[in-house]
Structure 1
Amino acid sequence: MIAGRDEHRDRASQSPRSPQWFGFCPRPLPGESLLSWIDQVSATFGFTRDDAAELVGISRRWGDRLSRDLYMLSRDDLPHLMFRTGLGELDLRMMTAEWLVMGPWAGCLRGRYYGIQGFDMMSSAACPDCVAESDGRWQLLWKSGFNVLCAKHRCYLASVCVCGRRLHRVDRGEISRFRCVGITAGQSRGFGPCDQKVADLPVARVEDPRVVQAHAQVFGLITSRKQRTDQQNERVWSDLAWAIHLTAELGTAELVEGTDPCVAEAFDRFCHRRESTRTRHGDVNARLKADEQDERLVMAAFLRVATALALSDDQGAQAMWFCDTVSPQWKSAPQVFIHLDPKGGLPQVFRALGMPNRPWR
């Protein structure tokens, strides 16, 4: 018979290795994810990750995965976690995905962009320098596919390990905050053993100010206190998502001319893969994905163009620039589908310039 949550906690409180016995838990760092903090508790007291999660107050229901627990905390778990972390309810919820997937940007962050997840519940990108400096603490916002760089260290985030495995996965142990950890599923894809240190992962430096600006604009929208109506907020984010899809469907290397070489090369590889999937009617394969090693670099290219279109004070001028730049591409793929929202916004700006109105499929 499986012990109930309260019974398990009572037994845990009697263990000399439990956090209750020690009387304290490590304090979360600003911006840290709840999973990262649980890993720190696990390392401090010598528990497995799952045991540490339960001992700090996260209920473990049979069949539930830790990713679900970290998605949105239950009301029953909050008092225990507030006591352990020393945080209030709002600050504690900011360590989970809840505030990111419930706001006006939820439609964007819940989406997938050619293999790039708006928010990855199972794994995370990383800044190797931040991981080294914080002794293995991981930021929540690294899990967002829209987060492409570290402003502090002026570097692009590492999407995956050099072997191709995802980083800091929920189904791996706390050691994954420092090293690549192989699993059976990964080995079945042809991966061999790997113990690459996260702190030593190679990353490119950010030199392009337009990428930095695009990154700041997107996350400025999330953290901004500017008062907008729900309709205005939804329009901003729907325009941004639409512009990303437009860039992915029709973008050419000329759109990102002058950007960092790593971004230009990743976007060029994506465009070549996209063109190889086009049908004779101009449609792109719905399963088109960016290369896993390129994901954050490709998203940097998407955002560099999409923010210029969606967040510009003069959308008409930016739309004309886009159309003039990709005109050869448009002519070579005349049947490409472009969704034009009848409610207005950026799609209607393009429609006014003569872009055909074809339904999204």
Structure 2
Amino acid sequence: MPVPVPGESFTSWVDAVARDSRCYPNQLVVDAWRLRKSRTASMARLDAGLTGRELQQIHAATGIRAEVLNGMRLARYTDQPLPALADLQDEWHAGALSFIRDRFLLRDHSRWCPLCLKESNGRWYLRWKSAWSYACTDHEVFLSAVCPTCYEPQDWIRAGPADRRLFCPGRRFHDSISVRRSSRCSHPLTEVPSTPVTDPVLLSIQKSIDYGFEGSPTVQPGARSALRLFLFPLLVDLILKFRSPDMFHDADPAIASANEEGASQSPSLSQGPTAYYDVAHPLLVAGAIHLGFRLVTGESRHAASEQFVELAYGKIVKHGRAWGSEPEYLPWHQRQLLPPRLSEMLMDRGVIRDSL
């Protein structure tokens, strides 16, 4: 039986065991591990819906310790201490952790590194389920988000064939004169072209974020300053909401290109319960984190904040009262998740407001 590889997600390991056992994942968890069908109707429940008793049942069947199994699930990021929040005061800790539960996790799909996927023969890492995981620091490439053939995100939590860790399970539609038919896409996910990360600061920030979530010892010296982003998580959301090309002219070329006016974004990334705003797109998230890092740690962060506020205000003026461009209503308990000086500037310019 395959054992979990370091950093692997729980559902990826379930799929590997099912492949080794030549059965479907839902058959494995019900017939071999004796989990109730009600808990496995959707494979997504394996990430969040297992009880301690059920983890012990899986341990008894596989020999993998329950604490190891629990550390492979999304609960690791919501129910266990995070290194990034270890030194926060209680009120800040509660607010940041609540934000992580709601906005940091991609519950219904996953990004991936094609090179990692090839090396591991189809094992998917848990950190790829973080909305702030935009790059692979081992191969120094941006993570992939959708299949280039059918443009579907890789959610891989439905109970399907066990080989789909390496091949896209999406559907391709074929129109004929009389009928519209579909077939499985099956594009090899290990062959998806990878975009190199040319900005070393982006890689350093990603290592810091990985450390903040998992305590990874590979974080570079000096990169811990990026952990301040965990203190002000709402900042990334605001940048995504009010982003404009002028905010990213000095960013990594791939980020600048993704933020150009009229840049093509796959419609698949704007659907589903975790596709809030643009957070499903790794290049857009990378750009927001790149700018957020400057606003909270850069030597010229005051000037950078002024520029961001003016550009955000300009977007509101340009689009009038169109949906998505109105001043953001933020009560006090959410405004504390922004840098105080930047919050004041946004309020003064009317980009955010404190009343309905």
Alignment of 1:33 onto 2:9 = yes
1:268-279 aligned within 5 A? 268-269=260-261
The equivalent position to 2:318 in structure 1, one of 298, 313, 332, is: 332
* CA apart distance, 1:197: 0.3
* CA apart distance, 1:194: 1.6
**1:299 corresponding residue in structure 2:** 285
Alignment of 1:124 onto 2:117 = no
**1:57 corresponding residue in structure 2:** 33
Whether the 8 Å contact between 1:131 and 1:199 is mirrored in structure 2 is yes
5+ residue gaps, structure 1, are 1-24, 113-117, 226-234, 274-286
* CA apart distance, 1:211: 2.1
**2:353 corresponding residue in structure 1:** 358
**2:187 corresponding residue in structure 1:** 196
Distance 2:174 2:312 in 1: 39
Whether the 8 Å contact between 1:340 and 1:351 is mirrored in structure 2 is no
Distance 1:61 1:96 in 2: 19
Deviates more, 1:304-313 or 1:66-75: 304-313
SS in 2 for 1:76: helix
> Where does structure 1 differ by over 6 angstroms across 4 or more consecutive aligned residues?
184-187, 270-273
* CA apart distance, 1:32: 0.6
- CA gap of 1:191–1:258, structure 2 versus 1, over 3 A, is farther
* CA apart distance, 1:96: 0.7
**1:239 corresponding residue in structure 2:** 232
**2:147 corresponding residue in structure 1:** 161
Distance 1:55 1:186 in 2: 37
Structure 1 or 2, whichever has the larger Rg, is: 1
Counterpart AA for 1:169: W
Counterpart AA for 2:353: R
Whether the 8 Å contact between 2:2 and 2:17 is mirrored in structure 1 is yes
* CA apart distance, 1:217: 3.1
Q: Deviations over 1:262-301 (max 9, x none)?
A: 221212257899xxxxxxxxxxxxx985497xx1111111
Counterpart AA for 1:174: A
The equivalent position to 1:259 in structure 2, one of 240, 243, 251, is: 251
The equivalent position to 1:182 in structure 2, one of 170, 178, 192, is: 170
- CA gap of 1:168–1:333, structure 2 versus 1, over 3 A, is closer
Distance 2:231 2:48 in 1: 23
* CA apart distance, 1:332: 3.5
Alignment of 1:76 onto 2:69 = no
**2:223 corresponding residue in structure 1:** none
Counterpart AA for 2:328: I
- CA gap of 1:45–1:288, structure 2 versus 1, over 3 A, is closer
Alignment of 1:173 onto 2:161 = yes
5+ residue gaps, structure 2, are 81-92, 217-227, 266-274
Whether the 8 Å contact between 1:309 and 1:319 is mirrored in structure 2 is yes
* CA apart distance, 1:141: 1.3
Distance 1:199 1:88 in 2: 30
SS in 2 for 1:81: helix
Deviates more, 1:50-59 or 1:73-82: 50-59
How many residues in Structure 1 have an aligned counterpart in Structure 2? Answer: 307
Distance 2:330 2:6 in 1: 40
* CA apart distance, 1:220: 2.7
- CA gap of 1:249–1:151, structure 2 versus 1, over 3 A, is same
Once the two structures are aligned, what percentage of the paired residues are identical? 21
Distance 1:84 1:186 in 2: 44
- CA gap of 1:316–1:57, structure 2 versus 1, over 3 A, is farther
Counterpart AA for 1:145: A
Q: Deviations over 1:181-236 (max 9, x none)?
A: 1359999x9976422101101121111123223323333322349xxxxxxxxx96
Counterpart AA for 2:129: K
* CA apart distance, 1:58: 6.0
* CA apart distance, 1:46: 1.0
TM-score, normalised via structure 1 length: 0.72
Distance 2:63 2:151 in 1: 37
The equivalent position to 1:98 in structure 2, one of 66, 75, 81, is: 75
Distance 1:99 1:186 in 2: 42
